[in-house]
Structures are given as structure tokens and as C-alpha cells.
């Protein structure tokens, strides 16, 4: 038991130290010592991320540390998720698929939201930038997220958010996922026009909105 506690403490420390190599090593050790991967995720990875997130919200650490902590957590998760018992999965506080829409290569805002969601215990799948409507739809069908998040920073790419919502409806999966949108051109009126569920004014607001959507 004490050995298990030590590995979990090492996982937490690797993330609060923003050390992705140490996180990877601690996760490997957890697997080798037979620690339940879900326990390692919840009491090691998620616990470390929560500390980083709490410190960020208190202004004690800043965005680079938040993202580095999320990156370290991802290294550990990559190991632990591979060793989940057959038929089980980890969703944390909920699963969120997030990406920047097709034609838009801006990712800073999206990356901040993804990091903060992870710090709040969510299982986040980041599709990256320039994501097509079909890839969003395929991800909803395959990963069954609770929430789909779309970022668009340009007025020329914001219509792609509507395209994704329409594609979700057309392929019969709109009712299976909540949709949140964000980006400089996004307004509450736009949310209503395209049939999304919410908008994130900034990263902190997006996290709070996602929490509410999952609760519903």
C-alpha cells in the first residue's frame, strides 16, 4: 500500500513540477506495480492537474505552467489509458472533444481551454486545428463525448461552426452531444442562430459552461 501511495505521489509531483518525462516514468511504474490505472489517473494525474488548475485560478502560476502541467498529464495518461481493463474507459468529470474549425489555424485559445478542462478533471480529446466538419462528426460518433467544443478566431471561418452543427443533425448524432463554441467573432446571437448549446467568452467561462452542460 505504501508503495502504491509513493507512486501516486510521484505522479502528482511530476505534474506540479511540469515534468513530462517524470510523469511518463511514474505512470510506467504504476503499471509495473499493478496499480489500478483508474486509481492512478484519479489519485495521481487528476489530483496533480487539480493542484495546477487551482494555483492558476489563484494567480500563483500562469498560462505556460498550466499548459506544461497538462502536457505532463497527457504523457502519463498515454501510458495508463493503454492498460485499462478490457471494456472499461476513463471519462473523468466528462469527455470533451475540442478543435479549431476547418480553415482556421489559430490554437492558443483552444489550447488554454483544453488545458483548463484537463485541470478540472475532464478527459479531453484535442483534434487540433483546421478540423473538417466530417472529422468532428466522426469523433462524436466514435468517442461519444459529453461535449463538443469548436473554436473559430476568424470571421471567415466562423460559418464552419454552423456547418458542423448541421452535419451533426444530418448524420443523426446532434442529440447525443452538447455543443459549445468560442472565438472572437462568436456572440450569444450566433449560438442561437446555429443551434449550439453555449458559448465560452474566455477560457474560465468555457470551463464553467462545460461543467453546466455535463451536469444537464
pTM for this prediction: 0.82
**What is the maximum span of the chain, computed from C-alpha positions, in angstroms?**
56
pLDDT at 150 over 70: yes
> What pLDDT is recorded for position 3?
63
Average pLDDT, the chain: 93
Q: Write the CA distances from 32 to 4, 15, 134, 208, integer angstroms.
A: 11, 20, 39, 37
Answer yes or no: is pLDDT of 83 > 80.
yes
Strands (E), the chain: 95-100, 123-126, 147-151, 178-182, 198-200
Name the residue among 90, 41, 45, 94 with its Cα closest to residue 69. Answer: 45
The domain limits of the chain are 2-83, 95-215
Contact 16, 48 (CB under 8 A): yes
CATH of domain 95-215: 3.40.50.280
Q: What is the mean pLDDT of residues 26-35?
A: 96
The candidate with the shortest Cα–Cα distance to 150, out of 197, 187, 107, 182, is 182
Residue-wise pLDDT tens digits, 168-177: 999 999 999 9
CB 10 within 8 A of CB 22: yes
Is 60 exceeded by the pLDDT of residue 100? Answer: yes
- pLDDT of 2 above 70: no
12 SS3 class: helix
Whether 200 shows a pLDDT value over 60: the answer reads yes
Q: Is the pLDDT reported for residue 178 higher than 70?
A: yes
Residue 1 has pLDDT above 60, yes or no: no
> How crowded is residue 34: how many other Cβ atoms within 10 Å of its Cβ?
9
Q: What is the pLDDT of residue 86?
A: 78
* 2-83 CATH pick, 1.10.1240.10, 1.10.760.10, 3.20.20.140, 1.10.150.20: 1.10.1240.10
Q: Which of 33, 67, 60 is nearest to 203 (CA)?
A: 67
**For position 60, what pLDDT does the model report?**
96
Whole-angstrom Cα distance, residue 132 to residue 165?
12
User: Which pLDDT tens digit goes with each residue over 116-138?
Assistant: 898 888 999 999 999 999 999 99
Amino acid at each position: 500500500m505504501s508503495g502504491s501511495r509513493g507512486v501516486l505521489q510521484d505522479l502528482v509531483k511530476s505534474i506540479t513540477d511540469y515534468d513530462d518525462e517524470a510523469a511518463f516514468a511514474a505512470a510506467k511504474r504504476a503499471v509495473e506495480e499493478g496499480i489500478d490505472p483508474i486509481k492512478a489517473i484519479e489519485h495521481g494525474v487528476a489530483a496533480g492537474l487539480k493542484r495546477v488548475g487551482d494555483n492558476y485560478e489563484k494567480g500563483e502560476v500562469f498560462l505556460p505552467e498550466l499548459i506544461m502541467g497538462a502536457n505532463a498529464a497527457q504523457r502519463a495518461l498515454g501510458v495508463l489509458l493503454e492498460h485499462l481493463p478490457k471494456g472499461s474507459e476513463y471519462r473523468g468529470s466528462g469527455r470533451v472533444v475540442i478543435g479549431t474549425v476547418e480553415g482556421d489555424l489559430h490554437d492558443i485559445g483552444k489550447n488554454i481551454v483544453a488545458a483548463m478542462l484537463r485541470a478540472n478533471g475532464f478527459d479531453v480529446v484535442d483534434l487540433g486545428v483546421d478540423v473538417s466538419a466530417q472529422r468532428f462528426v466522426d469523433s462524436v460518433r466514435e468517442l461519444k463525448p459529453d461535449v463538443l467544443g469548436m473554436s473559430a478566431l476568424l470571421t471567415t471561418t466562423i460559418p464552419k461552426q454552423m456547418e458542423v452543427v448541421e452535419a451533426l443533425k444530418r448524420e443523426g448524432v446532434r442529440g447525443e452531444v452538447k455543443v459549445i463554441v468560442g472565438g472572437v467573432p462568436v456572440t450569444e446571437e450566433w449560438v442561437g442562430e446555429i443551434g449550439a448549446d453555449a458559448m465560452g467568452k474566455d477560457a474560465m467561462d468555457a470551463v464553467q459552461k462545460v461543467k453546466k452542460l455535463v451536469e444537464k
